Amino acid sequence: MTPELRSLVYKEASVADMKVQAAKDGMRTLVQDAIYKVIKGDTDLAQVQIVGGE
């Protein structure tokens, strides 16, 4: 957790504000990370669909 995000947590900022800061800090959502891993070749789309249920 970055200092900026930690500060928002302590201030009890909105979830939306925390999501924006986390994205600025380089966080990926689970879906974004799954797509990244498919592109990298670490997994395939079939595995992502099995685990993700979509």
Q: Supply the pLDDT for residue 21.
A: 97
**What does the pLDDT look like over 1-54, one tens digit per residue?**
999 999 999 999 999 999 999 999 999 999 999 999 999 999 999 999 998 886
Q: Whole-model pTM?
A: 0.67
Residue 22, CA distances (Å) to 6, 12, 39, 42, 51 in order: 10, 15, 22, 24, 24
Kindly state the DSSP code that residue 43 receives in the 8-state scheme: S
What is the per-residue pLDDT for 53? Answer: 80
Task: Determine the Cα–Cα distance for residues 38 and 41; give it in Å rounded to an integer.
Answer: 5
- The pLDDT value recorded for residue 10 is 97
Q: At what angle do helices 15-24 and 3-10 cross, to 10 degrees?
A: 170
Q: Are 44 and 38 in contact (CB under 8 A)?
A: yes
Distance (Å, whole) CA 5 – CA 40 = 28
